[in-house]
Structure formats: structure tokens, C-alpha cells
């Protein structure tokens, strides 16, 4: 673990970015290589991270000719294809998990977009998903991490503290409100050990990041 807060924030930002990519679209060859940036070989203080890492590592270690296709099929089953029989499927939208009628584009989406706009982020051509999609919420945390690291590098501790407080608030008011239930359903529905492991890794990482921010902000 880094004792340098700048390096720690950059590493955590990189992990947020990789997780955002994993939930944004199907795995490709480049992404399989990038997964190696996750701490898949080292034990941590989180049982969820360690077990998630073990499952993903075991899946990737198996030699199979159709890994990319198998992962693409599982990704589609989990996050894209919907039928009447998948009412409890892992919908990757905060609104579905927090709105009484379980519909998309609800209040959670509006609140997420407002948080993005407060930091000068708005709808862009690269955003092809609703703003409360897990991928975009993770990407927002990545942005806050990296901006806080840059503020510390400039020795602007006031701005760094503001960004870290914003990150902690977004984690508490958005991701932690629904990701545990989302990940639990994802783990149950996934057919590959890779996505079962990813579900565990996600919950463990968010829990650890919250504790890290609490310690950093005092």
C-alpha cells in the first residue's frame, strides 16, 4: 500500500477507470491485458477483493479458444438482454435499484448528472449510457481521484480536500446506495467466474475506498 497520498490516489483512480471500462462494454483483447493492473496476485485486507481476484485470475488462467466470445455472451446476459424472466437481473442503473417503480432515468439519474455538472462535466458524445449507469458513476469517482492527486501535486490542499470530500459524498450517496445489491445479483446470475469475481472485487474495492477516504479526511 502506498504511503504517498498522490500515488495512492492515482492508483485508486486507475482502478476506478478499469472497473468503469469493465462495466461499460464487452471485454476485448486489450482489456484482458489491462486487467493485469488489478491486484490479482496480492492478498489485501479485504476478503471480497481477495476472493474476487482469485476467481478472475483462475478464469483467465484457463486455456480456452473462445474466452472473448464467452465473456461477451455473459456480459450481454447480465447487462443488456432483458426478458420477462429476468426481473431480478443485475440492472446496472442506480434508478432501477432506488426508485419504487424500478424504472430507469429516475431521480437518481438526475442527481448523478447534477453532481457531474458541479464539477464541470456534462453530457458528451462519449456518454452513450444513462448518467446513473454504474460505469459512469465509477468514471466520475476516477475523475475526482485524479483531480485530487493533481491538486496535491500543486500543493493546493484546500482543493484536494474539497475533491476528496466530494468523492466520499458521491460514494455514500450514490454507489453505496445500490451497488451492493447490484453486485450480489450479478454474482448470482453470472455464468463465468470472471464476472462473479468482478462483482466481489467491485464491492470490496468500494468498501476499501470509503475507509481510505475516511482515514485521509479524518
Residue pLDDT, tens place only, 90-112: 889 998 888 766 666 678 899 99
147, 153, 155, 158 alpha-carbon torsion, rounded to 10°: 20
CA distance readout (Å), 176 to 52, 102, 127, 129, 142? 18, 17, 22, 20, 16
Q: Which residues contact 187 (CB under 8 A, 6 or more apart)?
A: 196, 199, 200
Model confidence at 60, in pLDDT bands (50, 70, 90)? confident
Residue pLDDT, tens place only, 7-57: 999 999 999 999 999 999 898 888 887 776 555 556 677 899 999 989 998
52 touches 198 (CB < 8 A)? yes
Identify the pLDDT of residue 85: 44
Residue 38: φ, ψ to 5° = -75, 150
With H, G, I as helix, E, B as strand and everything else as coil, classify residue 119: coil
Q: Which CATH class is domain 5-217?
A: mainly alpha
User: Which of residues 135 and 39 earns the better pLDDT score?
Assistant: 135
Amino acid at each position: 500500500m502506498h504511503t504517498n497520498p498522490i500515488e495512492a490516489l492515482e492508483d485508486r483512480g486507475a482502478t476506478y477507470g478499469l472497473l468503469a471500462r469493465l462495466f461499460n462494454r464487452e471485454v476485448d483483447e486489450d482489456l484482458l491485458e489491462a486487467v493485469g493492473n488489478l491486484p490479482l496476485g496480492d492478498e489485501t485486507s479485504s476478503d471480497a477483493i481477495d476472493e474476487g481476484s482469485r476467481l478472475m485470475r483462475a478464469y483467465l488462467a484457463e486455456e480456452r479458444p473462445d474466452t472473448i466470445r464467452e465473456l461477451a455472451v455473459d456480459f450481454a446476459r447480465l447487462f443488456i438482454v432483458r426478458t420477462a424472466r429476468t426481473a431480478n437481473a443485475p440492472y446496472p442503473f442506480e434508478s432501477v435499484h432506488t426508485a419504487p417503480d424500478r424504472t430507469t432515468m429516475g431521480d437518481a439519474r438526475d442527481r448523478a448528472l447534477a453532481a457531474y455538472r458541479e464539477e464541470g462535466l456534462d453530457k458528451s458524445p462519449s456518454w452513450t449510457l444513462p448518467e446513473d449507469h454504474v460505469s459512469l458513476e465509477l468514471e466520475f469517482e476516477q475523475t475526482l481521484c485524479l483531480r485530487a492527486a493533481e491538486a496535491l501535486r500543486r500543493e493546493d490542499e484546500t482543493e484536494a480536500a474539497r475533491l476528496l470530500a466530494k468523492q466520499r459524498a458521491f460514494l455514500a450517496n450514490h454507489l453505496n446506495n445500490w451497488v451492493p445489491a447490484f453486485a450480489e445479483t450479478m454474482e448470482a446470475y453470472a455464468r463465468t467466474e470472471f464476472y462473479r469475481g468482478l462483482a466481489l472485487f467491485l464491492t470490496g474495492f468500494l468498501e476499501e475506498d470509503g475507509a481510505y477516504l475516511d482515514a485521509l479526511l479524518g
